[in-house]
């Protein structure tokens, strides 16, 4: 799926994150259930009328203790590099400031469309405040109020007018798309190099747009793959590339376009909080998943070293107990080709469709062995189960009353499905519906 990306830029306190949250709406709360996902999201999908797009709040990317203008500069650079349309946000109450002019100068350099928004115009009388902003040279300013939700429709109409014609991304059925995500320096680019060879990795490293240009095709034992680009594989030498928020942003964009996500960990450094957050995003996106522990060459090994590391991973990523783990070294090339067998298996499981009769036999057998306990004085009855989607496999269970389906019983059914059908490396989803 190829969606346009909209970025919001502007000096601090003009209301960027307020507007971001308004536009992406309740999506934010959906992800809060996933362990490790932080509240302060700066990237999300959004909808306006019949347009689907992605949004970036560049205000969330901070580059440490740098002076304010350096921060603003980095944020504008992210917008220019990552977005298809830029919303330049200002504060109508304060008029045009030096910092606004600084942002404007940065944005003059881009050919991408810029839509000027004047925020904090909370009522009609305040509309006169916006005339000042013509001086910035971005045409008609759009008056909005983040706190009251005013003017957002007109602003988004204008933004949507500038959406580029997105080439329908051709998803070839016979190609498995995967990406490597992980903290900076875990060895993602080294792994890609180890897979495809230094030269080809360099050739694929064209400074392209947000789409296909930097993906790397690869074929192994008759199966076609595409390695989806992430941060660190396309280094441009900008300061913002080192920030955590930016690497997460790039990871999310790569996850979206992949079938299988390789979560790369650094054997030397163990597991960090950020690893969990990144893994949480991949699980939430419903992608096939595996762990790749890199730099295994650099570890002093005793009898139980691998078992202990595996235990550590299982302890920290309890919600990903279905994801296989592979220990590799990009440096020596050890076990790197084993990745492909694993990716292929996960991709098959991710796309697996179970015959209805077999599925219902397994569910009926599970209920017979372990009937659902009574909830609120009522017993759950399960009538019928059907698989409604693949990637990831998604099942709808029709019951007498969805309110008494306890999450622990859902977990039990999921475990039974895994025992019966495998599903190694893929999340599975169960939705309960009332039989009508």
Interacting residues with ligand GDP (CB under 6 A): 10, 12-18, 59, 119-120, 122, 145-147, 182, 184-190, 232, 294-295, 297-298, 329-331
Q: Say if residue 318 carries a ligand binding annotation.
A: no
| Sign of the C-alpha dihedral computed for residues 401, 407, 412 and 418 taken in this order | positive
SS3 of 54, please?
strand
Listed residue (304, 272, 318) closest to 411, CA to CA: 318
Q: Is 229 flagged in the annotation as binding?
A: yes
Question: Residue 182, annotated ligand binder?
Answer: yes
* Cβ at position 248, least distance to ligand GDP in Å: 13
Pick 13 or 370: Cβ nearer ligand GDP? 13
| Secondary structure (DSSP) of 271-315 | --HHHHHHHHHHHHTT-EEEEEEE-GGGS---TTHHHHHHHHHHH
For ligand GDP, the closer CB: 292 or 320: 292
Residue with smaller CB distance to ligand GDP, 93 or 378: 93
Between helices 244-256 and 273-284, what is the axis angle to 10°? 30
In the block, tokens 């932080």 appear at 38
Specify the residue, 159 or 354, whose C-beta has the smaller distance to ligand GDP.
159
Q: Closest separation between CB of residue 325 and ligand GDP, Å?
A: 16
Handedness of CA 40, 45, 51, 56 (dihedral sign): positive
Distance, in Å, from the CA atom of 362 to the CA atom of 356, rounded to the nearest integer, reads 10
Pick the closer one to ligand GDP by CB: 120 or 226: 120
122 annotated as a binding-site residue: yes
What count of Cα atoms within 13 Å lies in the side-chain half-sphere of residue 237? 0
147 is in an annotated binding site: no
User: Any binding-site annotation on 109?
Assistant: no
Exposed, middle or buried: residue 249 (CB in 10 Å: 0-12, 13-18, 19+)? Answer: buried
- Taking the least distance from each CB to ligand GDP, the nearer of 156 and 354 is 156
Consult the annotation and say whether 366 binds a ligand: no
Q: Compute the least distance from the CB of residue 182 to ligand GDP, in Å.
A: 6
State yes or no: 422 annotated in a binding site: no
Q: Check the annotation: does 12 bind a ligand.
A: yes
Residue 130 or 330 having the CB closest to ligand GDP:
330
Distances, alpha carbon 349 to alpha carbons 392, 410, 423, in Å: 9, 20, 5
> CB of residue 339 vs ligand GDP: minimum separation in angstroms?
13
Using an 8 Å Cβ cutoff, are 296 and 266 in contact?
Answer: no
CB of 194 to ligand GDP, least distance (A): 8
For residue 54, which phi and psi values (nearest 5 degrees)? -110, 150
Q: Report cis status (omega within 30 of 0) of the bond before 148.
A: no
* Identity of the residue, 50 or 123, whose beta carbon is nearer to ligand GDP in the bound complex: 123
Residue 17 is assigned to a ligand binding site: yes
CB of 195 to ligand GDP, least distance (A): 12
Q: What's the alpha-carbon Rg for the chain, to the nearest Å?
A: 24
Nearest approach in angstroms of CB 18 to ligand GDP is 3
In the complex, minimum distance from the CB of residue 121 to ligand GDP, in angstroms, rounded to a whole number: 7
C-alpha 95/C-alpha 242 separation (Å) is 33
Which segments within 49-125 are labelled E, that is strand? 51-57, 85-91, 114-119
Among residues 150, 114, 163, 142, the alpha carbon closest in space to that of 22 is found at: 150
List binding-site positions for GTP. Answer: 10-17, 57-61, 119-122, 182-189, 229-233, 294-297
List binding-site positions. Answer: 10-17, 57-61, 119-122, 182-189, 229-233, 294-297
């Amino acid at each position: 799926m190829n969606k346009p990306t909209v970025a919001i830029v502007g000096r601090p306190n003009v209301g960027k994150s307020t507007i971001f949250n308004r536009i992406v709406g309740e999506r934010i709360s959906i992800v809060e259930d996933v362990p490790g996902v932080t509240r302060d999201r700066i990237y999300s999908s959004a909808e306006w009328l019949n347009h689907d797009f992605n949004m970036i709040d560049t205000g969330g990317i901070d580059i440490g203790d740098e002076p304010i203008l350096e921060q603003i500069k980095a944020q504008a650079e992210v917008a220019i590099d990552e977005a298809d349309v830029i919303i330049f946000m200002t504060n109508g109450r304060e008029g045009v400031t030096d910092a606004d002019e600084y942002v404007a100068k940065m944005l003059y350099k881009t050919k991408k469309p810029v839509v000027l928004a004047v925020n904090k115009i909370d009522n009609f009388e305040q509309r006169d405040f916006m005339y000042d902003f013509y001086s910035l040279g971005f045409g008609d300013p759009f008056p909005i109020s983040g706190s009251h939700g005013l003017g957002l429709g007109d602003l988004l109409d204008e933004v949507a007018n500038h959406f580029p014609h997105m080439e329908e991304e051709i998803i070839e059925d016979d190609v498995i798309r995967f990406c490597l995500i992980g903290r900076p320096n875990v060895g993602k680019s080294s792994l890609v190099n180890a897979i495809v060879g230094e030269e080809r990795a360099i050739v694929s490293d064209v400074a392209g747009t947000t789409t296909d240009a930097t993906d790397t095709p690869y074929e192994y034992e008759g199966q076609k793959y595409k390695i989806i680009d992430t941060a660190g594989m396309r280094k441009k030498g900008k300061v913002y590339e080192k920030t955590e928020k930016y690497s997460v942003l790039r990871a999310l964009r790569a996850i979206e376009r992949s079938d299988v996500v390789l979560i790369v960990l650094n054997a030397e450094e163990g597991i960090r909080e950020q690893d969990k957050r990144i893994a949480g995003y991949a699980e939430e996106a419903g992608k096939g998943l595996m762990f790749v522990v890199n730099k295994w060459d650099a570890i002093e090994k005793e009898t139980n070293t691998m078992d202990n590391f595996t235990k550590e991973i299982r302890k920290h990523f309890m919600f990903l107990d279905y994801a296989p783990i592979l220990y590799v070294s990009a440096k020596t090339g050890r076990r790197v080709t084993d990745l492909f067998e694993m990716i292929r298996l996960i991709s098959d499981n991710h796309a697996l469709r179970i015959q209805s009769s077999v599925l219902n036999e397994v569910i009926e057998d599970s209920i017979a062995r372990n009937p659902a306990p009574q909830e609120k004085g009522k017993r759950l009855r399960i009538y019928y189960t059907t698989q409604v989607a693949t990637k990831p496999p998604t099942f709808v269970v029709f019951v007498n009353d969805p309110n008494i389906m306890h999450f622990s019983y859902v977990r039990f059914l999921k475990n039974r499905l895994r025992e019966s059908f495998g599903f190694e490396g893929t999340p599975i989803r169960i939705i309960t519906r009332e039989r009508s």
